[in-house]
Amino acid sequence: MTIEKYGAIDIGSNAVRLLISSIHEEEGQTTRFKKTSLVRVPIRLGADVFKTKRVSEENIIRMIDAMQAYQLLMKTHKVVKYKACATSAMREAENGEEVVELIKEKTGIQIDIIGGKDEAAIIAMTDLNNLINTDATYLYVDVGGGSTEFTLYHNGNVITSRSFKLGTVRLLNKLISDDIWNEVEQWIKKNTQEYPRVSLIGSGGNINNIFKNSGKSPGKPLSFLYLSSYYKLLNSLTYEERIWQLNLNQDRADVIIPAARIYLSAMKWSGAKDIYVPKIGLSDGIIKSLYNEKLNNC
């Protein structure tokens, strides 16, 4: 058996995450991917960028600190390979490339700023395919702070995908126009109308949190009715009450409401009655992409 550790850094609009996974290889057996460590820092880059088009000096310093910490964690874990990807906020930051160069200089960590299509493609490398029945239709919805990626699967194949600038941090800061909502609605309705039954697959920290609080067993879906009721509960509570009564983190207690709204809207427009929550995301896809690169180079 051979065991190696890979690292994935996901620089999102709401938080910056480091996932360290152990890759277990045994001859004649399916390779296992085991999550060893997950660290999350709520820097919330989108709060700056979506308003001013720049990463603030304060957040540049926080990013450098986070990358230095992640670099040391990966060194301590003896990570042999890593990849750092930045998404929506860094894509739109006018000083994004400058920040990338500065972080490289200060920490040695190279960051790739990826597009929406690349983001969706990396996520598709996860165990998502193992969750999709070959005789069913799923709308995969990955809600982030700055954007949401939609991918339609039918009979195990990707039919179409699209990234929209519809994210929780944007919504929180009232930066989403009705035109964006209408565009998303029309896209979902147009691409799902020919399928009699569609289920959602949701990813992102907010839907993971909602699923955890539901008490549902892994693999079981949440119903539209449950998510709708939970959305009403969230809206009935103040920010402080959501932290205290629902035991939410400070940086989760505000963005969870717009996230729930996006998932509910997608369910309504696609006619989905259930949403599956497999706890996968960009970090998992990065780990898989690194492993695939290793196989291709062998």
pLDDT digits (tens, 9 = 90+) for 36-64: 999 999 999 999 999 999 999 999 999 99
pLDDT average, residue stretch 257-282: 95
Answer yes or no: are the C-beta atoms of 96 and 111 closer than 8 Å: no
pLDDT band for 298, please (50, 70, 90 cuts).
low
81-86 and 32-41 beta bridge pairing: unpaired
Q: Which amino acid does the sequence have at 108?
A: G
DSSP state of 212: H
pLDDT of residue 215 exceeding 80, the answer is yes
Q: Give pLDDT, residue 224.
A: 98
Round to the nearest angstrom and report the end-to-end CA distance of the chain: 17
User: What value does the mean pLDDT of the chain take?
Assistant: 93
pLDDT at 56: 97
How large is the average pLDDT for residues 106-116? Answer: 94
pLDDT digits (tens, 9 = 90+) for 144-181: 999 999 999 998 888 998 989 999 999 999 999 999 99
Query: 276 near 137, Cβ under 8 Å?
Result: no
Number of Cβ within 10 Å of residue 26's Cβ equals 11
Per-residue pLDDT for 139 more than 90? Answer: yes
For residue 109, is pLDDT > 80?
Answer: yes
Q: Is the pLDDT of residue 132 over 80?
A: no
Taking the mean position of all CA atoms in its chain, how far away is CA 222?
19
Cβ partners under 8 Å of residue 142, min gap 6: 119, 120, 123, 148, 149, 202, 203, 204, 281, 282
Q: Is the pLDDT of residue 131 over 80?
A: no
- Average pLDDT on 102-122 reads 91
**Digit-coded pLDDT (tens) for 236-249:** 999 999 999 999 99
pLDDT of residue 118: 86
The predicted model scores a pTM of 0.90
% residues pLDDT > 90 (the chain): 83
Q: What pLDDT shows up at residue 126? A: 75
